[in-house]
Chains A and B, each alone.
Chain A
Amino acid sequence: EKSRGSFFTQLTKAVAGKSKVDDEVLDNLEEILVTADVGVDTTLKIIERIEERVERDKYLDAEELNTILHEEIAGLLSENQTEDVHGFSVPEDKKPYVILVVGVNGVGKTTTIGKLAAKYIAQGKKVVLGAGDTFRAAAVDQLKMWGERVGADVISRGMNTDPSAVAFDAVQRGVETNADVVIVDTAGRLHNKINLMNELTKIRRVMTKVTDGVPHEVLLVLDGSTGQNAVIQAREFTKATEVTAIAVTKLDGTAKGGVVIGISDEFKIPVKYIGVGEGVDHLQAFNKMEFVASFFNAPKA
Chain B
Amino acid sequence: MFDNLSDKLDRAVKNLKGEGRISEINVATTVKEIRKALLDADVNFKIAKQITNEIREEALGSNVLTAVSPGQMFTKIVSDKLTDLMGGEMTPFRPTGTPAVVLIAGLQGSGKTTFTGKLGLRLKKQGKQVLLVACDVYRPAAIDQLETLGEQTGVEVYTERENKNPVEIAQNAIAHAKKTGKSMVIVDTAGRLAVDEQMMKEIEAVKQTIEPSETLFVVDSMTGQDAVNTAKTFNERLNFDGVVLTKLDGDTRGGAALSIRRVVEKPIKFISLGEKLENTLEEFHPDRMAQRILGMGDVVTLVEKA
Using a CB–CB distance below 8 Å, which chain A residues touch chain B?
31, 34-37, 39-40, 104-108, 114, 135-139, 141-142, 144-146, 149, 188, 190-193, 223, 225-230, 232, 250, 252-256, 259, 278, 299-301
Contact = CB atoms under 8 A, between A and B. Distances in A.
Interface stretch (B33-41, B51-59, B88-96, B171-179): B33-41
Given A137-B148, A227-B256, A34 B250 contact: no
Given A225-B224, A278-B108, A301 B251 contact: no
B148 A138 contact: yes
17 contacts: A35-B225, A37-B225, A105-B111, A105-B247, A106-B109, A106-B110, A135-B275, A137-B117, A142-B144, A190-B250, A227-B222, A228-B253, A229-B42, A229-B253, A253-B195, A256-B226, A301-B233
Nearest to B43: A227
A149 B140 CA distance: 10
Interface string B114-143: 000100000000000000000000111110
B194 A227 contact: no
Contacts of B251: 190-192, 229, 232
B152 interface: yes
Contacts of A39: 39-40
Interface string B140-156: 11101111110010000
Interface residues of B, number: 49
A110 B276 CA distance: 20
Residue among A108, A149, A250, A255 with max Cβ neighbours from chain B (10 Å): A255
B275 A141 contact: no
Given A138-B141, A146-B140, A255-B226, A228 B41 contact: yes
B8 to A, nearest CB: 13
Q: Which of B108, B152, B194, B250 has the most CB of A within 10 A?
A: B108
A155 B283 CA distance: 40
A136 B146 CA distance: 11
Interface in B231-263: 232-233, 247, 249-253, 255-256
Nearest to B190: A278
A255 B224 contact: yes
Contacts of B252: 227, 229
B306 interface: no
A238 B233 CA distance: 35
Contact of A137 (B39, B107, B149, B226): B149
A299 B229 contact: yes
A146 B223 CA distance: 27
Tell me which of B111, B152, B225, B255 has the highest count of chain A C-beta atoms within 10 A of its own C-beta: B225
B230 interface: yes
A105 B139 CA distance: 16
A225 B249 contact: no
Listed residue (B110, B226, B229) with the most chain A CB atoms within 10 angstroms of its CB = B226
Contacts, number: 146
Contacts of A230: 222
B220 interface: yes
B38 to A, nearest CB: 10
Contacts of B253: 228-229
Contacts of A278: 108, 138-139
Interface in B261-290: 275
B247 A190 contact: yes
A137 B145 contact: yes
A253 B255 contact: no
B193 interface: yes
A259 B226 CA distance: 12
The 3 tightest CB contacts between A and B, nearest first, are A227-B224, A106-B109, A227-B42
Contacts of B230: 225, 253-254
A225 B195 CA distance: 14
Nearest to B232: A301
Contact of A252 (B110, B140, B193, B250): B193
Contact of B39 (A34, A146, A193): A34
Contact of A301 (B39, B148, B229): B229
Nearest to A34: B45
B39 A254 contact: no
B225 A36 contact: yes
Nearest to A30: B45
A190 B249 contact: yes
Given A31-B45, A228-B41, A301-B194, A104 B233 contact: no
Interface string B55-78: 000000000000000000000000
Contacts of A225: 107, 220, 223-224, 226-227, 230
Interface in B15-44: 36, 39-42, 44
Contact of A108 (B109, B223, B275): B109
B252 to A, nearest CB: 4
A114 B152 CA distance: 27
Contacts of B229: 254, 299, 301
A255 B36 CA distance: 20
Contact of B140 (A34, A145, A255): A145
A149 B109 CA distance: 21
Pick the most buried of B110, B220, B232: most chain A CB atoms within 10 A of its CB. Answer: B220
Given A37-B224, A225-B226, A253 B193 contact: yes
